[in-house]
Amino acid sequence: MMTFKERYGPWAIVTGASAGIGAEFARQLARIGLNLILVARRKQRLDDLARQLEPASQIQVKAIAADLSRPDFLPPLWSAIGHLEVGLLVNNAGFGLAGEFLDHKLEKELALLDVNCRAALILTHAFGRQMAQRKRGGIIFVSSVSGFIATPFEAHYAASKAYELFLAESLGYELKKNGVDVLALCPGSTDTEFHAVAGSRSVAAMPAAPVVELAIKKLGRQPVAIPGWHNRLLVYLLKFTPRRLHTFLAGRVMGKLTAE
């Protein structure tokens, strides 16, 4: 049986690696022995993380500054990566916008669409083709439990996570014949910078470490991983209640969490 490194190495790309779940993916994949390509806007944070990981885990790390909301992000990223063999892609980059949809600037909503959906689509298409040709590889989409629930006051974010969830599940079926494993990781509230950026309050936030541990454990074993028993229970109960009730309850909760 192949080890994780043999199946998904020698290089892994982690987007949104400057903080939170992305940085934790970098730390845990480094301990496994994968070389890393870290992608985010904040180059200094990536460089700092690289300096920590390289000597500690005896791996190579490339830190690449890129704004995934830009329509032309791929060519310079592709050039920087060169001929490195990427066996694992972690589509982690993303952000949310909480509050009334019509109160947000359209430019911010379009940036959310580009980062959460368009960039993940482009990277998956580009590196997924290489993996399929080699008949091995893995792709992780960091979705959310919000992808299961229409969520007022976080409408576009929830829609973007449903997009990632459905894309991951569908591609998992398609790419299985090519030896490529695809996982939708669907955490709930996690102790990261997400809520500060989105403008909401966190409730029962999990640490990032067990979220990433579950993803690494479940990749290649199941199509969807939901960290935390309370999040798994929530998704299970959704099967037995009307969708209109989901939306109503989500709206009441989010309305309180985003209130001034």
pLDDT for the residue 51: 96
Q: Which of 8, 62, 108, 157 is catalytic?
A: 157
Are 246 and 238 a contacting pair, CB within 8 Å? Answer: yes
Q: Is 161 part of the annotated catalytic residue set? A: yes
pLDDT for the residue 191: 74
pLDDT for the residue 201: 61
pLDDT for the residue 2: 87
pLDDT of 198 above 60? no
pLDDT for the residue 205: 78
What average pLDDT does range 141-161 have in this prediction?
96
Q: What are the pLDDT digits (tens) for 15-28?
A: 999 999 999 999 99
- What is the rounded distance in angstroms from the CA atom of residue 174 to the CA atom of residue 177? 7
Q: Which of 8, 161, 163, 218 is catalytic?
A: 161
Q: What is the mean pLDDT of the chain?
A: 93
Q: Is 157 part of the annotated catalytic residue set? A: yes
pLDDT of 202 above 80? no
**pTM exceeds 0.75 for this model:** yes
pLDDT for the residue 146: 95
pLDDT for the residue 115: 98
pLDDT of 75 above 60? yes
Q: What percentage of residues in the chain have a pLDDT greater than 90? A: 86
pLDDT for the residue 195: 52
pLDDT for the residue 197: 57
